[in-house]
Structure 1
Amino acid sequence: MDLLDFLRNRRGVAKATDLNKAGFSDRALARALESGLVSRLKRGIYVAKGADPDVVAAFRANGRLTCVSAARFHGLWTLPGDPEGLHLSCGNGLPRSGVVNHAPCIHPVHPFLPIAGAADVLLHALRCQPELEALVLVQSAVSQALVTLEFLRAKLPGNRNGRARAILDLVLPRADSLLEVLAHTHFVRAGLRVLMHVQLPGVGEVDCLVNDCLVIELDGGTHLEAKQVKKDQYRNNASIRGGRLVLRYYYSDVVHNPERMVAEVLAVLASREAGHFGPPRSRPDWLTAS
């Protein structure tokens, strides 16, 4: 592996000590600097062209990426939208322009990149982010077995962490996508009885069963493929044959228009309670015609 490949494997940035440990001599580093493909970010830090800008910024600020700024490095779900400022743990509490400075990291960190470990990332997010943004981060970490809810609760004692612990109460035992945890939260907040990943005879596993009568499926991008669409429609038929209505929602519904989604679910449930989906009171003409 040459020096540039080594840097690219480290998001484009490395400390001189790490380069030396990897066997790159001062002469090799000098040649790379002369070529213009590598530059000195600051004393003891070298950066290649095309380096990850967040990693570069963290090295420059002597901080570690954390909270939402570190989510992608741990494979955590996030809601759309650009976070306000770069979230770093700089450890000194001094204000920096364009930086949201978090508490010092107290758990194991990335071995060579300026990135907080998953535990600190989640604890910082629970104290910093709005409820749903923090929830999807924690849900994805728990689903990947990066941390446990018990571990996080133990790290959040006292009244000042009451809001953070309340977010942990919304985490599901299993969630295959951020759509599931968001939909579950919105429906529960609307006062509905919600079961997730329910096995129905003749249908298979459905995403949500609301009030034991309404199946709700949450469709990602793969559900738009022709083969999957046909399969989903047959599943809809099977659900209705079994006496349950079906609604399907997509990413834009759950993430961008949750109020409209919940209102529609409530309207369907109200119609069902009013008997609008039951048998007609009189026999229609099309049944009596010969």
Structure 2
Amino acid sequence: MDIASWVAARGGIVHRQQILDEGVSPRALRAALARGDAERIRRYWVATASAPPPLVAAARASGRLACVSAAAHRGWWMPEGTTETLHLTVRQDAKLPGGTNAIVHWSRPLVPQPPHRLIESVPDTLEHIAGCLPHEQALVVWESACAMDRLHPEVLARIAWRTTRARRLTSAAQNQSDSGLETLFVVRLTPWGVVIRQQVSIAGHDVDVLIGDRLVVQLDGFAFHSTPADRQRDLAHDRELRARGYTVLRFTYRDVVTDWAHVEAVITRHLAQRNHLAP
């Protein structure tokens, strides 16, 4: 067996026992390591050059990726600046190697994990995020997790969360947002008391947010609005919405994340003009 290719195909880092379970002899594994086909991490892990550095760091610490690092590894939508520091979870009796540069979570796992896994469970990740991030940012990540991992709010409600902050997020997460940017917008606007609906189909396409009856808000995150074809599609839909009597507002990622005061001022003006109400 080509050990390097086998390991690379499984994320670039695997436990030594997983290789031996495939029928590779300890002698053949030692020979592959001696040739430089792969690298031994601590005593039990084998990695190739393609291994993600956070997973290698987790293996070196005999721990698992945790919290925002686990969320980013899973591809959840993360607010800016939340993933700059590595987060790990380790056994409560663990002794970290010198030079470990990470925020370490020492809590007992909420969910038991197989021994050959370098990333904590989804519920553990959500609970750690509830404790590490401010409520607004944590809710953005939770809703992204709901969308990407298909977690229904009723499923979250049945988990035996150990913290008040996690239980509060369970009540707030609705699994309606199409993006983290949309969650952020809705979270900030909800206390205003106006009627807000998400992903409403109008004129053949879903709109991100409908305020009242007639005020449409479209949020242009990069993922779905980055090409000329995307832009042309958006403009054509906007024209059709306006022809049907809707007011259409578009905000970018930067508008919502770094210039919320401007977004708020624009929405306030349209609410004062009753543009959210049907004639």
With the shorter chain as reference, the TM-score category is: 0.7 to 0.9
1:256 is aligned, of 254, 258, 267, to: 258
Q: Give the match's secondary structure for 1:5.
A: helix
Q: Which residue of 2 aligns with 1:39?
A: 39
How far apart, in 2, do the equivalents of 1:62 and 1:264 lie? 51
Q: Which residue of 2 aligns with 1:187?
A: 189
Of structures 1 and 2, the larger Rg is shown by 1
How far apart, in 2, do the equivalents of 1:147 and 1:228 lie? 29
Determine if contact 2:3/2:37 at 8 Å carries over to the other structure: no
Q: Which residue of 2 aligns with 1:12?
A: 12
Most deviating of 27-36 and 106-115: 106-115
2:103 is aligned, of 100, 117, 126, to: 100
Most deviating of 91-100 and 61-70: 91-100
Q: Which residue of 1 aligns with 2:134?
A: 130
- 5+ residue gaps in structure 1? 276-290
Q: Give the match's secondary structure for 1:180.
A: helix
Cα gap change, 1:7 to 1:218, in 2 (>3 Å) = same
Cα gap change, 1:51 to 1:143, in 2 (>3 Å) = closer
Q: Give the match's secondary structure for 1:199.
A: strand
Cα gap change, 1:173 to 1:29, in 2 (>3 Å) = closer
How far apart, in 2, do the equivalents of 1:56 and 1:173 lie? 32
What displacement does 1:139 show? 0.9
For these two proteins, the number of residue pairs brought into alignment is: 270
Q: Give the match's secondary structure for 1:249.
A: strand
- 5+ residue gaps in structure 2? none
Q: Give the match's secondary structure for 2:111.
A: coil
Cα gap change, 1:116 to 1:8, in 2 (>3 Å) = same
TM (normalized to structure 2)?
A: 0.83
Matched AA of 1:206: V
How far apart, in 2, do the equivalents of 1:44 and 1:5 lie? 18
Q: Which residue of 2 aligns with 1:169?
A: 171
How far apart, in 1, do the equivalents of 2:238 and 2:251 lie? 13
1:149 is aligned, of 135, 153, 172, to: 153
Determine if contact 1:203/1:238 at 8 Å carries over to the other structure: no
How far apart, in 2, do the equivalents of 1:73 and 1:231 lie? 31
What displacement does 1:69 show? 0.8
Q: Which residue of 1 aligns with 2:211?
A: 210
Cα gap change, 1:110 to 1:214, in 2 (>3 Å) = farther
Q: CA RMSD in A?
A: 2.7
Determine if contact 2:153/2:174 at 8 Å carries over to the other structure: no
How far apart, in 2, do the equivalents of 1:90 and 1:11 lie? 21
Larger RCO of the pair (alpha carbons < 8 Å, separation 6+): 2
Most deviating of 181-190 and 117-126: 181-190
Deviations 1:17-52 (A, max 9, x none): 111111222232222222223232222332323422
Q: Give the match's secondary structure for 2:225.
A: helix
What displacement does 1:145 show? 4.6
How much identity, in percent, do the aligned residues show? 31
Q: Which residue of 2 aligns with 1:26?
A: 26
Determine if contact 2:88/2:102 at 8 Å carries over to the other structure: yes
What displacement does 1:115 show? 0.8
What displacement does 1:179 show? 1.8
Matched AA of 1:182: L
Determine if contact 1:236/1:246 at 8 Å carries over to the other structure: yes
Cα gap change, 1:240 to 1:174, in 2 (>3 Å) = same
Q: Give the match's secondary structure for 1:223.
A: coil
How far apart, in 1, do the equivalents of 2:73 and 2:258 lie? 25
Alignment partner of 1:268 is 2:270? yes
Determine if contact 1:10/1:113 at 8 Å carries over to the other structure: no
Q: Give the match's secondary structure for 1:169.
A: helix
What displacement does 1:68 show? 0.8
Cα gap change, 1:263 to 1:98, in 2 (>3 Å) = farther
TM (normalized to structure 1)?
A: 0.81
Most deviating of 242-251 and 99-108: 99-108
2:143 is aligned, of 139, 143, 158, to: 139
Q: Which residue of 1 aligns with 2:53?
A: 53
Most deviating of 208-217 and 96-105: 96-105
1:63-78 aligned at under 5 Å gives the runs 63-78=63-78
Matched AA of 1:100: I
Q: Give the match's secondary structure for 2:91.
A: coil
